[in-house]
Amino acid sequence: MFFSVMDETAEPLCERMATDLDDGFTELVRVHASAVHAFLLRMTGNAAEADDLGQETFLRAYTALQEYSAQRRRALRPRAWLMTIAANVWRNHVRTCVRRPVAAVSVEESCESWAAEGPGPQDHADTVADRALLVAALARLPERARVAVVLRHVVGMSYAEVAEVQGCPVGTVKAQVSRGLSVLREVLEPEVALLREVTM
Amino acid sequence: MNRGGKWTPQPESGVEAALAGLMGPAPGDFAARVLHRVGIPRDRYDLYLHLDAPAGGLYVAYGTDAVTGAALGTALSGPQAFEEAHRARTGRSAIPTTRPLPGLRTALRTGRARGLAIDLPELTEAERAALDAVRTIPRGQLRPLAWVAREAALPDSAAVTAALVANPVPLLIPCHRVTFDDGGPCDLRYGPIAGEALRRAEGVDEALVGLSRAGTVFLGSDTTRIYCHPTCAHARRITPVHQVPFRSARDARAAGYRACKSCRPIAA
């Protein structure tokens, strides 16, 4: 029913994990490392933390895969499964260091250093300032909305995949994403949002 | 809006586009550190990186202690294309890294890659023999197909051309230094434009290449009465007044010349 970007590569990947775990896992890391890292970077707002949590995510994934039967590995949908682990690792991390203030200042700092890494997909964002604004606004979204927005629009997963990660119906995810986007739009395009309010 | 599962970029709204722009590649060696930390044995995967070189740089993949594949930057759309091509050819994953195999950078900078360990288990015996012979061609020099065939002890140049087309490690196995038997460059792997860029970077004298095209296959010196391939280091030292062009080894032998012992032109 759903054909996401990764589905063509998913099937041989699972087959490989089922027959030869080390080889399949290597391929899993190659294909999905960037997505996991990008997700965690946007959730933590800090490159060093994203790096640590990313390592933790793949370590857990590998440990879990060792326990799984070949059949279960074959039936896996790797990207959604990995993101579920990453989201759990991130929530645990937030819980353990809840006494320390997370994010806020470090978000703005780290996003600026990150944006300076030369041209690339970030050309979409008009200026570094706009980008910093967006990253900061993203960091202020409520947790579940942020997970949904990042998975849907930064990582580029389908609503069905996001629903699998969030463990809730697809409709709920769509609502979370749409609400999250309207908050971001207000921050980024205040005139447009104002216009919309006036005309509606 | 986009209600199905298929995700497509949505340029109509600024926020969606800006969010998609936040998806960057993971830092240089993130994936490699993950595999190291998880404890996947190093011989189960290859590392790769992009190094400076003429013709768009060079992607080089390596295993535990030898290069296992490479591709010119101009021949590929990006790192992902290299990863997929490497996987398809060798059946091994290529994981990005920032640290090159020891000796790799030097080999690329000096153009002397003969001593570099290159491991290509997927090649046939004949292909490996041909490419090993190609590796002995010195920097800045050219050799014809027949020469490679003789050095590799192969029956004819067809086996050599097959190996050149397949060459999985361009530049480090210098197939841009091979010419057709009439002296014209034989860029079977990546086309004449990249080939010329590689030769120019090595300082191959285009005048000598032109000489070959004009029908001169060998160059002799009337002081030493030795004949060479025109790009041989000894041939390049012959001053213009003493240069004697030959169309074939037989002509040179008939004129009383002997073959150079370092570039070993084929005897008639």
pLDDT computed for residue A39 by the predictor: 93
Does the residue B61 lie in any domain?
yes
Q: What is the mean pLDDT of chain B?
A: 86
Does the residue B115 lie in any domain?
no
Domain boundary among B110, B135, B157: B110
Residue of A125, A153, A154 whose CA lies nearest to A41 = A154
Domain boundary among B110, B131, B159: B110
Residue A155 C-alpha, separation from nearest chain B C-alpha, in angstroms = 6
Statement: residue B88 has pLDDT above 80: yes
Q: At what angle do helices B30-38 and A21-44 cross, to 10 degrees?
A: 120
pLDDT computed for residue A30 by the predictor: 92
Domain boundary among B110, B126, B144: B110
Statement: residue B150 has pLDDT above 70: yes
Contacts across the A-B interface (CB distance below 8 Å): 137
Q: At what angle do helices A78-96 and A21-44 cross, to 10 degrees?
A: 50
- A54 contact residues in B (CB cutoff 8 A): 26, 30, 34
Does the residue B49 lie in any domain?
yes
Does the residue B262 lie in any domain?
yes
The CA distance from B262 to B232, in Å, is 8
Give the nearest chain B residue to A160 (CA atoms).
B5
pLDDT computed for residue A38 by the predictor: 92
Which portions of chain A are predicted below pLDDT 50? Answer: 1-8, 104-105, 108, 110-119, 121-122, 124-125
The CA distance from B142 to B209, in Å, is 9
Give the nearest chain A residue to B80 (CA atoms).
A31
Does the distance separating the beta carbons of B38 and A122 come in below 8 Å?
no
Per-residue confidence band for B156, with pLDDT thresholds at 50, 70 and 90:
confident
What is the percentage of chain B residues whose pLDDT exceeds 90?
35
Whichever domain contains B255, its CATH number is: 3.40.10.10
Residue B222 near residue B257 (C-beta atoms within 8 A): no
Phi, psi of A136, rounded to the nearest 5 degrees: -65, -40
The residues, ordered by sequence, that sit 6+ positions from A69 with a Cβ below 8 Å of its Cβ are none
> Looking at the predicted complex, does its ipTM rise above 0.90?
no
What's the pTM? 0.79
Query: Residues of chain B whose C-beta is under 8 A from some C-beta in A?
Result: 3-7, 9, 13-27, 30-31, 33-35, 37-38, 40-41, 44-45, 83, 87, 93-95
- B87 contact residues in A (CB cutoff 8 A): 27
Domain that holds residue B244: 207-268
Does the distance separating the beta carbons of A188 and B5 come in below 8 Å?
no
- For A181, the token pair is 């986007």
The residues, ordered by sequence, that sit 6+ positions from A89 with a Cβ below 8 Å of its Cβ are A40, A53, A56, A57, A60
Does the residue B92 lie in any domain?
yes
How many structural domains comprise chain B? 2
Does the distance separating the beta carbons of B34 and A55 come in below 8 Å?
yes
Could you tell me where the DSSP H helices lie in chain A? Answer: 7-19, 21-44, 47-67, 70-74, 78-96, 105-115, 128-140, 143-149, 159-166, 170-188, 190-199
Which region holds residue B66: left if phi is over 0, alpha if psi is between -120 and 50, else beta?
A: beta
Summarised one tens digit per residue, pLDDT across range B170-185 is 999 998 999 888 777 8
Does the residue B248 lie in any domain?
yes
Per-residue confidence band for B56, with pLDDT thresholds at 50, 70 and 90:
confident
Summarised one tens digit per residue, pLDDT across range A115-155 is 444 445 445 445 677 778 888 888 888 888 999 999 999 98
Does the residue B241 lie in any domain?
yes
Q: Residues B231-244: what's their mean pLDDT? A: 89
Residue B142 C-alpha, separation from nearest chain A C-alpha, in angstroms = 39
Does the residue B233 lie in any domain?
yes
CA B205 to each of CA B81, B110, B179, B209, B236: distance values in angstroms, whole numbers, following the listed order: 34, 17, 14, 7, 9
Does the distance separating the beta carbons of B18 and A134 come in below 8 Å?
yes
Does the distance separating the beta carbons of A54 and B30 come in below 8 Å?
yes
Distance of CA B204 to the CA centre of its chain: 15
The CA distance from B183 to B202, in Å, is 17
pLDDT computed for residue B188 by the predictor: 82
- A158 contact residues in B (CB cutoff 8 A): 4-7
The CA distance from B154 to A45, in Å, is 60
